[in-house]
Structure 1
Amino acid sequence: MSSLAGKTLAQAKINLFLRVLGKGIDGFHVIETLFLRLDIGDDVTVRITDLGRAVDCEGLTGVPPEKNLAYLAAETYAAATGWPRGFSIEISKRIPAGAGMGGGSADAAAVLRILNRISPDPLDDATLLDVSRSVGSDVPFLTSSAVMALAWGRGERLLALAPLTKKPVLIAVPEFAVSTAEAYGRLDRGGAIPTGAQFIPLSDLTSWSSVAASSENDFEAVVGADHPEIPRLISTFKLAGAQISRMTGTGSAVFAIFDAAPAALPMMNSKVSLLTTLTSSSVVPVTVLD
């Protein structure tokens, strides 16, 4: 068995804004979003083996390997490069599933970054991003070296931006998950997709105050109509002094960014989990294991 192995933190993401601009000729929705990494994440370790391919995801049961994005990422990397023949992936989950925080995508991106770091013939950054695009729409950002990035298309086209100053973040995670496909379906059925929307200028993304002024999420209304807990959580955070409070992605998590950590945490009902973290200032590097 090979001794090659690496580990890293698969950092969660939030969407500081998320706009659906329409549909492309291929039928996929065209979005514009502002991604930001957080300090919270999953621990991911990849070990190269002579034979066999496996994934062990602590905290996520009942998902077959072929449905696990981290496993798919490793298979995609192997198909693109011819290496490795075998691998073993270990994931310790902290990012809640179905919450819009990029948990599966973060794990997949971490696997790609680890494999490329320990590969005997690593891909260049551009080629690695090309590989990541075939795994999932959020995976390119989380594979990249960007802490914050403007993304468009299906979310796979990226422009890295200078990260803003670190801020405290509270994240409320309801007990229910939201399916991304179902959220887009609700948007389509509700006729809520705008036409002729304009991209947000880069000058609006250079400070927390300007980002706060641009912050919106086109899914909040349609997902919130089915889950009134989401608008209630947004209001609770705003009353607690949050500079920005939004649902992230297609839900179900709601985040709040503060100038300073609140002296007292907002009251949540027993069906909501509250996470505390910080916005990130850097991408956690891959550590090569002996």
Structure 2
Amino acid sequence: MKIYELKSFAKINLALHVTGKLIRLHKIESIIKFIQLHDLITIKRIDSNKHKISFSGIFSRNIKKDNTVDKLFKILDDKKLLNNKKFEIKIQKNIPQEAGLGGGSMNAATILNFLIKKKFVKINQKKILQITNLIGSDVILGIVQKSTILSSSGGIKKFLKSSNFYILLVRPNFGCSTKKIYSGVKKFSKPVLSNPNKNMLNLRFLLKQENALEKVAFSKYPKLKKLKSFMENLNQPLFVRMTGSGSVIVAYYQNNQDCELAKVKFKRKFKNYWCNASKTI
């Protein structure tokens, strides 16, 4: 059987506002980009009565049995959308967990997108949304990995071309629980991304934005606030912001040289923290 190799790119939130609360989830709006950092997925059809899913790499520890990829294949099997076809999936985890980078969600999105493109699964857009929502609310964002503006109404607008940044991602030696961070949100902001347009991806607009979850994350994890302050003085970044519910902090640069030099300086100070220089795509 042919072996396919897929890149599952991490995503970052350049801005994130919490605008309200639903029964189970919060209403958010966000500006999202995908970055060069990726997990590597190999997938092939196998002659078996069950799927074989395995994880390797530095961030493969403690991945639950009920992970996003297992959930995806269980849903597809339950709905009989694979016609009893079985697959072997191996995922090399380069994206840290509990980081705000959407690693697990993007794994599921990347695999589902592959199955649709190769016509192993035949479903319409409505069905795609239903399946992704059963796995996780952000999985739908990875079906088309382009710059995205998510409005609080749930609308998603993709942009083919926008400004790119060189970025330095750093993660302390702990992760942040998404549930724990969102549970600390007490104040909501007014929507500002209700009418998405390309100008919202420009630096001038981004500089005025924030990640509203920083206040909660910094109060629960003071080390994150200190980390952001330190990064704001690393080679004059354009801006520094936490992604998602953390714990990764991202510094944005206009050129690769400044970004790489900032990485060297950071690693001198924080030898035991994960650090990665990447670029938006």
Q: Deviations over 1:17-64 (max 9, x none)?
A: 11111112x342111111110011100122222321221111313434
Question: Which residue pairs with 1:186 in the alignment?
Answer: 184
Letter in 1 for 2:277: T
Q: Is the 8 Å Cα contact of residues 19 and 152 (structure 2) preserved in structure 1? A: no
Matched, 1:274 2:267: no
Pick aligned residue for 1:222 from 192, 205, 216: 216
Looking at structure 2, the residues matched to 8 and 270 of structure 1 have their Cα atoms a distance apart, in angstroms, of 31
Q: Would you say the 8 A contact 1:41–1:94 is kept in 2?
A: yes
Give secondary structure in 1 for the equivalent of 2:150: strand
TM value normalised by structure 2? 0.87
Number of corresponding residues = 268
Structure 2, unpaired ranges of 5+: none
Q: What per-residue deviation string (whole Å, max 9, x for no partner) do you get for residues 178-206 of structure 1?
A: 1101111122xxx3x226x1333535514
Q: Give the Cα separation in 2 of the matches to 1:121 and 1:28.
A: 29
Please report how far the alpha carbon of residue 124 of structure 1 lies from its aligned counterpart in structure 2 after TM superposition. Answer: 3.9
> Counterpart amino acid of 2:128?
L
AA paired with 1:165? S
Shift of 1:212: 2.3
TM (normalized to structure 1)? 0.84
- Tell me if structure 2 keeps the 8 A contact 1:16–1:248: yes
8 Å CA contact 1:98–1:252 kept in 2: the answer is yes
Shift of 1:231: 1.8
Deviation at 1:277, TM superposition (A): 0.7
Cα RMSD (Å) of the superposition? 2.2
2:171 aligned residue:
173
String of CA shifts for 1:52-110, please: whole Å, max 9, x gaps: 12211113134343x11112112223334531522221100110011010011111111
Change (3 A) 1:27 1:98: closer
Whether the 8 Å contact between 1:5 and 1:118 is mirrored in structure 2 is no
Flag structure 1 segments of 5+ consecutive residues without an equivalent. Answer: 281-290
Asked if the contact 1:56–1:90 (Cα under 8 Å) also holds between the matched residues in 2, the reply is yes
For residue 261 of structure 2, give the secondary structure of its aligned residue in structure 1: coil
Question: Displacement of 1:125 after TM fit?
Answer: 4.5
Q: Which residue of 2 aligns with 1:104?
A: 104
State the percentage of identical aligned residues.
Answer: 22
2:69 maps to 1:76: no
One-letter identity of the residue aligned with 2:75: T
Match of 1:257 among 247, 252, 277: 252
* Distance (whole Å) between structure 2 residues aligned to residue 70 and residue 132 of structure 1: 11
Return the match for 2:202 from 198, 207, 217.
Answer: 207
1:232 has 2:229 as partner: no
